[in-house]
Structure 1
Amino acid sequence: MTRFNQCMKALKRLAAAVCAAACVVTLAACGTDDEAGKVRIGIKFDQPGLGFKKAGTYVGFDVDVARYVARKLGYSDDQIVFKEAPSKQREAMLQNGDVDMIFASYSITEERQKAVSFAGPYFVAGQDLMVRKDDHDINSVNDLNGKRLCSVTGSTSAQVVKERFASEVQLMEQPGYAECATALFSGIVDAVTTDDIILAGLAANARGRLRLIGKPFTQEYYGVGIKKGNTALARRVDAAIIDMEKDGSWQRAINDNTRGVTYKPNMKYNPPKADLGKTGEKA
């Protein structure tokens, strides 16, 4: 091997080491060229009221919190790159460096904390039920025996109902909550179950045809997913969340994204104090 080739290889190794070091210090430092200097944030694209892709824009409570935090971290809106973060892919996206943070109705659990770290929580949801507006046969989770219940494939929400409240409930699984809402509209199922803020977004999108029961029976602590061990970023995100709660932006985001539906977060738990130690009741 010539001395020239040896030098070139040494320079390449040096460049790779410098880039790797920069990735540790700054967010998205070594992403693709069009992502350089930007922050990459995972959100849901299919949850009205939380994370929803609409005509090329992104709306919802999770999106509003993500934008607020990103601004506090020094990023303008045009430096935010939103990426879809399906539930089953969230841990892998953080571990692989595909995103820097995830705001996607991401409940903090002990099991997930083995793979990723969390900032927050920034919201405490509760599992609830949604029914047709004119249906008054179901007034609590205890009224579900013999009824048809819809939830999303892979979700533990329906199993929680079956195991703890209504062993004779008939379960239907769909790929998304929009499909569950459609099944509820058409009378194929009698109720839909998941976190109350997700149901509130679906009900708001239904323009009064669906309603929440309003009796949540779990607590789900929504956190900001970050790469395992990045405590410095977690502290900065926590500080931003606290500022959002203090200056009224958190409450405005709740109001804006649940407009048109009777829904209020459980004020016993909300707004939550950012605390890495909190965990939710289910994955």
Structure 2
Amino acid sequence: MKFNLRPAAVALLGVLSLTPALANADQATFPAGSTMERLSKASTLRIGVKFDQPLFGLRDLSGKPIGFDIDIAKLIASKLGVSANKITWVETSSSNREPFLEQNKVDFIVATYAINDQRKKVIDMAGPYIVGGQDMIVKKGNPLNIKGPDDLAGHKACVISGSEGQSALAKKYAQTQIVPFDVISKCVEALKNGSVDAVVTTNFILAGLVSRDPNNLQLVNNLFTREPWGVGMPKSENDFCHFVSDVLTEADKDGTYGKMYDATLKTYVGGDGKLPALDQCP
């Protein structure tokens, strides 16, 4: 399924924000009754994001959300013809993302959201727009010599409640003492004060945390899962899934995706800045 998408001009902001500013797209037109028509005509577009994820979703000093997930969300909004001032940013956590979609609290979610079969039972997901994996951070110098998940046996590892990290440890590394929190910032504080011995989550998130505090945190750099991130949406909105896939594909072809990736992520996580192969929509 293909949609005729009008190009949105993209300009990179200054070095401090590292966030592309998407110009307002011309008013797009969509098939009557489609999800895209409904979203484009709504008084506001409600997008679920995180505000505690360095590189992906944070608030800057003025309170505006910034990061790679924010850029992806703005790109989709611009292709719907929705201007930035019509976006309502809704803070989400790993544990409430599916409920927010099921309860119609958001229109879609871009929030470090891993694609998996369990989630696809209750929501739809487009993507992946990036692929990473679970890793760990420890105190600078790695005093406990934790080199991988097997070394967590008998140690306390902090995870985000409802996250891929929590699931991976529970399934394969059961001797780990898992300590769940609702937000990653609490895990980092627990690591610093010695309440836990490691923090487990996606390597991209961890790289962002280390970039903000390199004197106290250290990345183990040993991936033990594959984790594709996608855009979450309510179940059975397959037309919107195809639309988002087309937006991502077009952005990769015209260089928009690469510019966004280079401006926000490349310095910290490397990579070639190319869009991964997309999953098929329902």
Q: TM-score, normalization: structure 2?
A: 0.76
Q: Write out aligned runs for 1:35-184 (5 A).
A: 36=43, 38-54=44-60, 55-135=62-142, 137-155=145-163, 157-165=165-173, 167-184=174-191
* 2:197 paired residue number: 190
Q: Which of these two proteins has the greater Rg computed from alpha carbons?
A: 1
Shift of residue 97, structure 1, vs aligned partner: 3.0
Question: SS of the counterpart of 2:206?
Answer: helix
The question of whether the paired residues in 1 share the 8 Å contact of 2:242 and 2:281 is answered with no
Distance 1:236 1:168 in 2: 43
Shift of residue 162, structure 1, vs aligned partner: 5.0
Amino acid paired to 2:48 = G
Distance 1:106 1:115 in 2: 14
Shift of residue 151, structure 1, vs aligned partner: 1.4
Change over 3 Å in CA distance of 1:226–1:245 after alignment to 2: same
Shift of residue 146, structure 1, vs aligned partner: 3.0
* 1:272 paired residue number: 276
Q: Sequence identity, in percent?
A: 33
Change over 3 Å in CA distance of 1:170–1:126 after alignment to 2: same
Count residues with an aligned counterpart: 249
The two structures, once aligned, show a CA RMSD in angstroms of 2.9
Question: SS of the counterpart of 1:27?
Answer: helix
Change over 3 Å in CA distance of 1:259–1:118 after alignment to 2: closer
Amino acid paired to 2:91 = E
Question: SS of the counterpart of 2:224?
Answer: coil
Question: Which 5+ residue runs of structure 2 have no aligned equivalent?
Answer: 1-32
The question of whether the paired residues in 1 share the 8 Å contact of 2:94 and 2:182 is answered with no
* 1:237 paired residue number: 244
Question: SS of the counterpart of 1:107?
Answer: coil
Shift of residue 128, structure 1, vs aligned partner: 0.6
Q: Deviations over 1:73-95 (max 9, x none)?
A: 22232232211122333223323
